[in-house]
A and B are shown apart, each in its own frame.
Chain A
Amino acid sequence: MSARRGDPLLSVRHLAVTFPLPSGEEARVVDGISFDVAPGESVALVGESGCGKSVTSLALLDLVPPPGRVVSGEVLFEGRDVLSATEKEKEAVRGGGIGLVFQEPGAALDPVRTIGSELVDVLRRHRGLSRRDARRAALEWLRRVSLPDPERRFDDLPHRMSGGMRQRAMVALALAGGPSLLVADEPTTALDVTIQAQVLDLLRDLRRELSLAVLLITHDLGVVAETADRALVMYAGEIVESAPVRDLFARPAHPYTRGLLASRPSADGRLRAMPGSVPEPGLRPVGCAFEPRCPEAFGRCRAARPTLQPVPGLPGEAACFLHDGGGVP
């Protein structure tokens, strides 16, 4: 069954994930977020540690590790809810419809299996290839991700490869099942900068060739600028801004986005630091979660929680009362 034209490929609705705190309370690390990814679109989910971006990516495939759990929401992939699917249907989506790339390929790849045999498995399981055809296709994938010396690497264990090569192998593995969406969680964070640039180029080329949609999870605004069409900015479990990347960088609407952009090193070498730090899990303020650090906060921000709304004059949305006619004291 396929989705109708114009429908989003992925549609996340009111997704909430909790983790138990030592006190016994439940912390909502993902707090009722909604977003869409269109076919072929490249979306970045950006935020700092603890904002819930990685847990969100795991929840898309119902892979949140216990004791964390999805408490509400839907993840519609090609129109069908992944979370309420049978285990067999979920297996078909994982690696089939949705490919996954993690930050540390060393941890995601089986240390005692060769990269070739892992690829052959994926190709047989998700593409129904014979062993011989799968072997040929696997080699082709290693070439496509520009793994040097693919025939030799086919029989190599992951620890024999450099971090950059492992990440290329991981990309091959994620794409071999023929997904229409690639979810990449900090795929270049563990790599050196010249290798990061190569892997980002590779992802960009493959995306174009395969008409892939990409959901990239990252803390690095530079990586967002390099790769994404649209960005979702997360803070304390919520999406606080959603905008096309050019608009996000040129005219950020949420004060948190503005602070993040300003705290990056710029050409003049000055850093404008944001005061304070993110609220601890379970200690989220009643009103806007960013209010204690916000230079523009006013009375209403302490009393009520803003929701994502269109920003007047801009193509994006922000969860901020400044854009709600409430900015006028």
Chain B
Amino acid sequence: MSAEPLLSVRDLHRTFVESKGPLRRETRVAAVAGVSFDLPSGTTLALVGESGSGKSTTARLILRLLPADRGTVLFDGLDWLALGPRELNARRREVGVVFQDPATSLNPRMTVEEIVGEPLEIHRLARGRARRERVTSLLDAVGLPASALGKTPREFSGGQRQRIAIARALATEPRLVVLDEPVSALDVSIRAQVVNLLRDLQRATPSRPAYLFIGHDLGLVRAIADSVAVMYLGRIVEAGPTEEIFSRPRHPYTALLLASQPRETPPGEGESPVRLRAPGEPPSPADPPPGCPFHPRCPSARAVCRESVPREEAPEGSPSRFSCFFPAGGG
């Protein structure tokens, strides 16, 4: 790596402790169990995985909506997790966020002008007429007319509301934008509009923001991400450049995820509809199996997989890194 990455995450951990049942028995859920990655400026990294994989918790730790148990996050060289409340508030403008459901993430009693202008007010970036002008140009950038200014979120469709959320996230010219399933609640034809908009804005915004995109639709991930990190039970099991992950998955879980995506076109005459499948479901993060967390479902698992946790490796010449004793396509 030549240039310093904008965001550098190392060995991030977060365990939730819950007391359940009449005996208030404690269960410990290791939601994020040693996550590390780099995100260079102006690029997009997708964190993918199924429910319970820890991808959204990872995003919340980085956003500091939740405290981490341990690990470090360097943001532009700054020890992000160690920032005190005052420093953090002053720096928050550099990180934008868009959540899955604009219906709940936008205040229904505020006008669009107030919603998009609020970050500008909080960080004292613009006031009065300058603020209105800035909000109008942000709305224009996300494809909404100036007539939207005085309206409230409920007067818009889901796709338009997500545009409002994106305008708000970009208002302070952040250098990092966390996109937590930003199009999952939208219809297919609207999804494409919003994904294309996000891609265009990344190039057109002067701060050249990096995107941390949390998603589960691999097709969309392929359309937006430069690199992909696949998570399973709180860990990154494989990470690398998007094309590498899609064309040469090394970890059996990555291969399973790809094979589980519904096909793009119907099977041809006589073609078997059956493809790679794994039995069972992801184990509960409260009760992970010993050894490799994927071994109970893995078609290539052998004895060693049940006993030891594979260490992450990045063989020479391999653009991706993965944690598997028996990776596919190995030399």
Interface residues of A (CB under 8 A from B): 48-49, 148, 162, 164-165, 192-198, 200-201, 204, 219-226, 228, 245-246, 249-250, 259-260, 263-267, 269-275, 277-278
Contact = CB atoms under 8 A, between A and B. Distances in A.
B262 A222 contact: yes
Which 7 pairs, one residue from A and one from B, show the smallest C-beta to C-beta distance? A222-B262, A265-B219, A263-B192, A192-B50, A273-B192, A271-B192, A48-B187
Interface string B256-298: 1101111111111000011101101110000000000000000
A231 to B, nearest CB: 9
A99 B196 CA distance: 40
Counting chain B CB atoms within 10 Å of each CB, which of A193, A219, A245 scores highest? A193
A192 B51 contact: yes
Given A194-B256, A219-B187, A245 B266 contact: yes
A263 B51 CA distance: 25
B79 to A, nearest CB: 35
B149 to A, nearest CB: 20
B90 interface: no
Contact of B223 (A193, A194, A196, A265): A265
B264 A194 contact: no
Nearest to B253: A194
B318 interface: no
A99 B260 CA distance: 26
Nearest to B187: A48
A260 B187 CA distance: 10
Contacts of A195: 50, 281
Contact of A263 (B157, B189, B266, B278): B189
Nearest to B51: A192
A196 B306 CA distance: 26
B191 interface: yes
B189 A274 contact: yes
Contacts of B278: 194
A277 B163 CA distance: 13
A269 B261 contact: no
B157 A264 contact: no
Given A194-B50, A274-B192, 9 more contacts: A192-B216, A194-B257, A220-B262, A222-B262, A228-B266, A264-B219, A265-B217, A265-B220, A265-B223
A263 B188 contact: yes
Contacts of B282: 192, 194
B298 to A, nearest CB: 12
A250 B317 CA distance: 40
Contact of A197 (B220, B222, B265, B277): B277
A245 B266 CA distance: 7
B237 to A, nearest CB: 14
A283 to B, nearest CB: 12
Nearest to A270: B223
B190 interface: yes
A131 B329 CA distance: 55
A137 B108 CA distance: 51
A164 B52 CA distance: 14
B196 A273 contact: yes
Interface in B170-204: 187-193, 195-196
B159 interface: yes
B189 A193 contact: no
A274 B186 CA distance: 13
13 contacts: A48-B187, A148-B280, A165-B281, A193-B260, A194-B257, A196-B260, A224-B266, A225-B264, A225-B267, A228-B266, A250-B265, A263-B193, A264-B188
Contacts of A219: 187-188
Contacts of A165: 281
Contacts of A263: 188-189, 191-193
B188 A48 contact: yes
Nearest to A148: B280
Contacts of A260: 188-189
A271 B223 contact: yes
Contacts of B242: 269
A93 B162 CA distance: 42
A277 B159 contact: yes
B299 to A, nearest CB: 13
Nearest to A262: B192
Contacts of A269: 222-223, 242
A213 to B, nearest CB: 18
Contacts of B189: 48, 259-260, 263, 273-274, 277
A276 B288 CA distance: 46
